[in-house]
Structure 1
Amino acid sequence: MWNAVNLQSSINGREMIKKTLLLCLTIVLCQSGLAQEFRKSGTSGFAFLQIPVSARYAALGDAGITLSNVGADGLFVNPALVVLSDAQLSLSATHANWYVDTKHQALGVAYHLRGVGAIGISVINFDFGEIPRTANYIPGIFEPSANETSPFAQQGSYTAGATAFGVSLSRSLTAQFAFGATLKYVQESIDNYDASNVIADIGFLYFTGFHSMRVGAFLQNFGLETQYANEKFKMPQQLRLEISAELIGDLVSPNRLTLIADAAQANDADERLHIGAEATLMNAVV
């Protein structure tokens, strides 16, 4: 009886992996088609979604969708990683001061549920602060006062910002294959104008069984076009494929050296190749 149940479970697991890999292949082909259609740089909106959330991933050249034991950081880089965390509850919080007094911050919480996998919620915010509002003078109609030296009329200030809220689910389909997805509501505003959309992240992770080698795929910011004022634009969609392995130690070694190779294809930029390495000493990243 137990042998029959285990056999059926194994068959179901293999069928699920086949269907998932077929979906991944379909996404790759669709993304390739988009790449052939669009060859323009900087044509997508919601650019704040392209900023690396974690300093750890920024240090790796934005690679790392196959890293191990990343906790709630996985909510932002590959939701398939979240279920592989050793902790039942994990938290990720970052804050960075960006150019010209702008600020980027993110918060993520992940929790393991028995029989379900891992669930998580996340928020990313980019604050542009207050921006001076100016207007051009028009000779004979709108002219500066006698003591005005500025070439523009000062008319107070306005604010701008962008936010993304996400809900994630991460599951291990088999001992070698994990899947994760995030549904995100994104919103941007500048003065009296705003735009919003619902987009998705989909990630996979597969342990090859050859030493510690694993491969991953991550489709980020997948969604339809949206409109800002009178202009339509597409989401900053990106497909990433990655392979990684430990050159020293293995996944559970307290001391290890991990090498990562990551290929990224965005719909508003040329293809990129990221190479990164990470050293871990006594289970602490150095």
Structure 2
Amino acid sequence: MRKSGVMPTLDLVDVGEHVCWIVDPLQGYAAATSAFLADGELFGDKVVIVGSLLDPLCPPAGALRDATVVDPRLVRGDGPTPDLGSMLGLVRREADRAGRQGYRALRVLAVMDQLVSPEADASALLDHELRLDELVADSAAIMVCAYGRDCLGAATLDHVACVHPRELGTGRSGPSFRMFHSGPGSWTVCGVVDSDGAAAFGAALAAATVLSPVLRLRLDELELMDAAGMRALAEAATGTSVRRIMIEGANPTVRACWEMLGYSSYEIPVELTP
């Protein structure tokens, strides 16, 4: 079972985890980066840095001794959003090589400020991060995506953060829910999906429907979904090419509210199963 929520430090990151780091350069970015890279050497991981770590982001030179640094120009292409094929292919190839080379896992730090522009499209970034989460969950890899606090707008950052199971705590008010890969065509939603997070939830669902014609949502860890969240779910089911969204593990309150709002009476391709 993958963990979710806010992490106080990168020391707690483990194999199979995909972490969002909203970076405030004034809050010890260099120190936390150094610890993350040093842990790679301690645990026998292959370390890859996507992006050039320049001051004030650069850790001490010793921490980079055995790390592979990938020029961000090889990943981002010519557009404002990372080239998905290049980025995913890089992680997949390096994860396979790490196993053959005898490493415990692949440990990746992506400096997203150098891979995306402030005008990056939120839906394209969601698609990118969902595909990364799917890949990381199914491989011996650790993925940390570091976004500068001022890299993107607040709403786009919330969209990006919500599709990472874990986030490094920086004191900001982030998304109240998480949506992450939990099996073929399956995504777990945990936390609270309310009016504040409904837009991000709808965008994450729309991006996930592209990956599978039949989408399975696990709600065992969901605390609350209000009317705005259910409306976002209904709109994603009817406004995308998905054939069906199967809801599993919904609690009695969610089921009752879905019925009360009348969604079960409409021709919406959403099925609530035990």
Which has more radius of gyration? 1
Higher relative contact order (CA 8 A, sep 6+): 2
Q: TM-score, normalised by structure 1?
A: 0.26
| Bigger proportion of residues as strand | 1
